[in-house]
Structure 1
Amino acid sequence: MTMLGKQTIKGRIGFALAIFSIVSFCLLPFAQILSTSLKHQFDWGNPSLIPQVVNLDAYKELLGLTERQTVEIPPAIKKILENPKLSQGKKDAILAKYTDNSDVFPFGRFMLNSFAVSAGAALVSLIFAVMGAYSISRLRFSGQVVVQRSVLFVYMVGGVLLMVPLYQMAVNVGLASSMWGSVFCLFAIYIVQTLPVALYMLGNYFRTIPFALEEAAMMDGYSRKEAIIKVVLPLSIPMLATVFMYCFIIGWNEYLFASVFLKQFKEFYTLPLALQELFVSKNAIWDRIMAASMLTLAPIIVCFLFAMRHMDGGKTDGGVKG
């Protein structure tokens, strides 16, 4: 019994060490990113994860909390500005050239672009998925088995193979020539990418909700639509939050299609595309790149924590008496 107890303790310690090692290995890159984003330039070569002096300048710059720097106006330009015949608009245009904003990375605008496309596509995909998943799991119609089994067929074809024909289709219908047309194409692609798995996940979850709950609601005078809204959807909040988080993250991290459809429209770059441009630009400073990477991760973490609040099962336990 003693040997058995010792082996059990050793096994538990070994298991705990293995879990700790795996978690540490997974978190180490993120810790390195955070550490570098908080270091000054003289501290970049320091292998320690703890900065000697915490530097928040990169975060302030990306979040627009620093003032724009101005350079001294040459005397010759000042004489030109004193000319009374020069209009005020031209004077302002000349002065604007001496406001140093060449190193400013419009992180806020790119984040807003990513959020608008990702959250909008995730919401539309979730709405379609709710209707489609309920139909597949509750209704009976011809071709139901074919639809149910082929819903994940889109994932059998890689995005690289679909990129060229999708872009050619956008060019042929004239959408790729304008910014909003390209954004619409990207929006539709994100919906198509996320909808199949959203249908699959919600369909399986709706099957776990006893149909007797809907029947009881309809016996109380509710229509099927009202039963879905007031019974099925409230009980499905955990999965709805999970599906929305999944769809949002897919759109937030997507780079391939964004690099094709938005390449010529820099004002509507999404964050993955903008970060790649930042890395190869003259603004490629390590603390700025790492700070931008950390701020890009922040919405995903917030979205995951929000979903975790609703990921509790057993909501239908006791809802139906046997």
Structure 2
Amino acid sequence: MLGRKTIKGRLGFWLAIFLLVSFCLLPFAQILSTSLKHQFDWGNPSLIPKVVNWGAYKELLGLEEQKVVEIPAAIQKVLDNPKLSEAKKEAIKAKYTSNSDVFPFGRFMLNSVLISAGAASVTLIFAVMGAYSIARLRFTGQAIIQRSVLFVYMIGGVLLMVPLYQMAVNIGLASNMWGSLLCLFLIYIVQTLPVALYMLGNYFRTIPFALEEAAMMDGYSRKDAILLVMLPLSRPMLATVFVYCFIIGWNEYLFASVFLKQFKEFYTLPLALQELFVSKNAIWDRIMAASMLTLAPVVVCFLFAMRHMDAGSTDGGVKG
């Protein structure tokens, strides 16, 4: 009979789901496995390491003690010279401390978090105001703005990169660190604002206007109605838009490689990982561990968004 599911059909359905999920998770499992393996175990095709190695994670997170190389006898004689100043002695000793291959992962992650989260927050604020205007207000050119808001995505970032960088150079922003960061910050906002307006505008239309009218009849202003009615009911979409904007900034490489190339201390994680991959310190367990740690904030963002994605918030809010 139609609509009845047999045992074979259910088993086939769940088997297909299992195979699809396994296929999607296999690359991440391989990355995690390699990050936990010692060098002698890299050729092992098994996903389970013979001996678990946490060294790469400890190094990246700054939990590993600094290694000191033994100073040669000839250099020690130089250090014993009483005529040598203390500053020069410390400079010589510093050369024998093996910190040249330390990858400052924490600093690069902090850079990515600040830039991505800051741009996503500003985008969300502007998107709320713009999307509410498009969804609720009536003004000349409203339909044109509503339909053309996504036209910015018809032009690829590669085509915009050179003109944007030339503009930054001409006005003097690209010549200093804070100017370059400001340019990158604005580019991320411009990249994410159109789709944020589109998503929030469509969601605001699903919220009955009668709820706002009831709030304004109780003495609230339109601004209060937005803050106390619209935004609480829009938490699922607000969380979704924030995560979407954050991930775009978190994974962006093209513009960051242009505007931050000369300011290594402000590298974002995509730039830093590429720099690590081509450096003399390109060790596979370290690269894979850095990749896994790079995924962590994205997973946290999704978990945060899922807590607020409670559909049906306005069900029963207005009687038919």
The aligned amino acid for 2:71 is I
Q: The residue matched to 1:100 in structure 2 has which SS?
A: coil
Please give the alpha-carbon distance, in whole angstroms, between the structure 2 residues aligned to 1:219 and 1:90: 77
Residue 257 of structure 2 corresponds to 259
The aligned amino acid for 2:196 is A
The aligned amino acid for 2:272 is A
Please give the alpha-carbon distance, in whole angstroms, between the structure 2 residues aligned to 1:83 and 1:135: 76
The answer for unaligned runs of 5 or more in structure 2 is none
Range with bigger deviation, 19-28 or 86-95: 86-95
For residue 152 of structure 1, the aligned residue among 142, 150, 153 is: 150
RMSD value, Cα? 1.6
The answer for unaligned runs of 5 or more in structure 1 is none
Distance change (3 Å), C-alpha of 1:77 and 1:154 = same
Please give the alpha-carbon distance, in whole angstroms, between the structure 2 residues aligned to 1:154 and 1:281: 36
Residue 46 of structure 2 corresponds to 48
Range with bigger deviation, 222-231 or 68-77: 68-77
Residue 291 of structure 1 corresponds to 289
Please give the alpha-carbon distance, in whole angstroms, between the structure 2 residues aligned to 1:99 and 1:38: 26
Residue 307 of structure 1 corresponds to 305
Q: The residue matched to 2:219 in structure 1 has which SS?
A: coil
Residue 29 of structure 1 corresponds to 27
1:83-102 → structure 2 map (5 Å cutoff): 83-102=81-100
Residue 113 of structure 2 corresponds to 115
1:87-236 → structure 2 map (5 Å cutoff): 87-236=85-234
Please give the alpha-carbon distance, in whole angstroms, between the structure 2 residues aligned to 1:244 and 1:48: 38
Please give the alpha-carbon distance, in whole angstroms, between the structure 2 residues aligned to 1:41 and 1:120: 39
The aligned amino acid for 2:101 is D
The aligned amino acid for 2:17 is I
Give the paired residue count.
Answer: 320
Following superposition, the deviation at residue 21 of structure 1 comes to 1.2
Q: Deviations over 1:124-149 (max 9, x none)?
A: 00000000000000011111111111
Q: The residue matched to 1:177 in structure 2 has which SS?
A: coil
The aligned amino acid for 2:227 is I
Q: Deviations over 1:232-256 (max 9, x none)?
A: 1111111111100000000001111
Distance change (3 Å), C-alpha of 1:18 and 1:85 = same
Q: Deviations over 1:59-115 (max 9, x none)?
A: 000000001111122334334434445443333222222211122111001101111
Following superposition, the deviation at residue 319 of structure 1 comes to 1.1
Please give the alpha-carbon distance, in whole angstroms, between the structure 2 residues aligned to 1:244 and 1:302: 13
Range with bigger deviation, 294-303 or 66-75: 66-75
The aligned amino acid for 2:148 is S
For residue 39 of structure 1, the aligned residue among 37, 40, 50 is: 37
| TM-score normalised by length of structure 1 | 0.95
Identity of aligned residues (%): 84
Range with bigger deviation, 79-88 or 126-135: 79-88
Distance change (3 Å), C-alpha of 1:321 and 1:80 = same
Residue 59 of structure 1 corresponds to 57
Range with bigger deviation, 243-252 or 10-19: 10-19
